[in-house]
Chain A
Amino acid sequence: MWEGLFREVILLIELKNVVKSFASPDGMEVHALRGIDLSVETGDIFGIIGLSGAGKSTLLRVMNRLESPSSGEVWIGGRNMAILSGDELRTARQDMGMIFQHFNLLSSRSVSGNIAYPLEVQRLSTGEIKDRVSEMLRLVELEDKADAWPSQLSGGQKQRVAIARALAGRPKVLLCDEATSALDPRTTRSILHLLERINSSTGVTIVLITHEMDVVREICRNMVILEDGVVVESGPVKDVFLNPKSRTAKEFLDDLPRTPSQDEELPKIVGSPLVILRFDGDAADMPIVSQAIKTTGVDVNILSGEIDSLRSSRVGNLTVQLSGNREEIEGAMEYFSRNGVSLEVIWNG
């Protein structure tokens, strides 16, 4: 019992073996989700990344029952969305907000009118609605656009209105379906930072899907990579960046200008192994290489490398050549391991 309660408090979202198949017009079945297990902690910013057609949208839409799963359980805040219906489903949905790639604002309503919509649906009084709308306008910094019409706004402003509308009813979760994919890079960053700010000020849990690694890197703490309806990688963003296991993960990381290419012409000197050092967080900020040189007497020849800023920490990798006597080299390797740097020897002749 306690374990169940505990899970419920910590894990806001828990999907168990979720399967979703669509019947395609030619009678074939499309397996969009093939047994997804996934959990999202309360207060997290959780990224779901994958190529087009991987099943990201379906996964998100299963969470608020825009799609019914073919089988499996979809627990959101202690309710199994998969089996709800009628008023229960409606109320459960009011606990979740959603924003879309193409905003989906009501063209018949002003900015304020759009934000008021979910509150009208929840039958709040006019006074309460008015207060809450101003509060939301302030949150997304659009007070001066209260009476504007969606058609008069830029893409970024429209998405801000959509965010305000999605959060007006104080949901526990905000689901974002490619929310920045229709925006230019600068607007994307400002929307992402707004989401981050809202996450830390209101504690709302954010689940976002994207096909852009940059988005995940910018704000997510945990992530999964979806491929062909299957989770092929999951964990803290940092870990996935540091040790990508799946092919898809590596491809996504390749899109970023960082991973050292192993095919590169690297100088091969007998007795001087080539090593990739992978750092995260603290290690990336410490002068580990120079310390290693000082304490072990090894020579470190840096061949390539990069340090990447993630959400709140930094990860990096360096391809280096270690020279010296065997003792010095082994000492250096041990020093790196001891200080939280993971090591991959790519050539040792």
Chain B
Amino acid sequence: MDRFVRIMELLMAPTWETLYMVVMSSVIATLLGFPIGIALVLTEKGGLAESPWTHRILDGVVNVCRSFPFIILMIVLFPLSRIIVGTTIGTTATIVPLSIGAAPFVGRVVEGALKAVPMGVVEAAIVMGSRTRDIVMRVLIPEALPALVLGETLTVINVVGYSAMAGAIGGGGLGDLAIRYGFHRFQTDVLIAAVVVIIVLVQGIQVLGNGLASYLDRNR
């Protein structure tokens, strides 16, 4: 019983750290990735602001970023973390590579969701004399909202996974806890407890995301 309470105490701080990293990184990744996704859709061939070169470059950058294994990306971005938050270790420092790692993913998710809006609906908006801005804000995003929510859910879950990995190189959070206690000190029960919390977190996010998406879909 004592042991249980002790593990609970051990879990408290890292769980908050993980939540903090995940929330911050997801928000920043979304802020970075959303415009990328929109730009990908607008600049593609036949898009509303067709621009083959812009599209090719964006597409390339997204692919390159996505092909980095996350651990490598984190190491590559150490200098950037130092510039932005003044250190390379700890939860706040980890937010930098987490955000940048997840942003291209968000870009692809947004691109996919917006491209699934039927062409006819977009054409109807065009012939009503819409500005591109109106089509994005009043047609594409609202029409794609349930798909966007599901994609965002996937993003957050990915970030949870990455954040656990970041623990391996001093990122803090549940991953860090699991490695320090479970791996270095052979306290298997702490390791299991950390994993259980991560599983519960992922499940919770998925249930929340699915629920929100189907709520948004209720009238469609």
Q: Residues on A close to B: CB < 8 A?
A: 64, 66, 90-94, 96-98, 100, 102, 104-110, 117-118, 120-122, 149, 151-152, 162, 165-166, 169
B127 CB, nearest partner CB in chain A, Å: 5
Question: Which B residues lie within 8 Å of A90 (CB)?
Answer: 129-131
Cα distance A151–B124 in the bound complex, in angstroms: 17
Residue B27 at the A interface, CB < 8 A? no
Q: Knowing A100-B124, A117-B138 touch, does A108 contact B130 (C-beta < 8 A)?
A: no
B110 CB, nearest partner CB in chain A, Å: 16
Question: Which A residues lie within 8 Å of B138 (CB)?
Answer: 117, 120-121
Q: Are A104's CB and B131's CB within 8 A? A: no
Question: Which B residues lie within 8 Å of A92 (CB)?
Answer: 129
B125 CB, nearest partner CB in chain A, Å: 7
Question: Which B residues lie within 8 Å of A64 (CB)?
Answer: 127
Q: Are A108's CB and B143's CB within 8 A? A: yes
- The A interface, classified by DSSP as helix, strand, loop or mixed, is mixed
Q: Are B124's CB and A98's CB within 8 A? A: yes
Question: Which A residues lie within 8 Å of B128 (CB)?
Answer: 93-94, 97, 117-118, 121, 165-166, 169
A163 CB, nearest partner CB in chain B, Å: 12
Q: Interface residue tally of chain B, by bracket?
A: 20 to 34
Cα distance A91–B127 in the bound complex, in angstroms: 10
Question: Which B residues lie within 8 Å of A151 (CB)?
Answer: 219-220
- Which residue from chain A places its CB closest to the CB of B122 in the assembled complex? A104
Question: Which B residues lie within 8 Å of A120 (CB)?
Answer: 134, 138
Q: Are B130's CB and A104's CB within 8 A? A: no
Q: Are A149's CB and B220's CB within 8 A? A: yes
Q: Are A121's CB and B134's CB within 8 A? A: yes
Can you list 18 A-B contacts (CB < 8 A)?
Answer: A90-B129, A92-B129, A93-B129, A94-B128, A100-B120, A104-B118, A104-B121, A106-B142, A107-B121, A108-B145, A108-B220, A109-B142, A117-B125, A121-B129, A121-B131, A121-B134, A165-B128, A169-B129
Residue B126 at the A interface, CB < 8 A? yes
A299 CB, nearest partner CB in chain B, Å: 60
Residue B189 at the A interface, CB < 8 A? no
Question: Which A residues lie within 8 Å of B131 (CB)?
Answer: 90, 121
Question: Which A residues lie within 8 Å of B220 (CB)?
Answer: 107-108, 149, 151
Q: Are B127's CB and A93's CB within 8 A? A: yes
A268 CB, nearest partner CB in chain B, Å: 56
Question: Which B residues lie within 8 Å of A110 (CB)?
Answer: 219
Cα distance A66–B125 in the bound complex, in angstroms: 11
B49 CB, nearest partner CB in chain A, Å: 12
- Which residue from chain A places its CB closest to the CB of B119 in the assembled complex? A104
Q: Point out the residue from A96, A102, A152 that lies within 8 Å of B127, measured CB to CB.
A: A96
Q: Are A104's CB and B124's CB within 8 A? A: yes
Q: Are A66's CB and B142's CB within 8 A? A: no
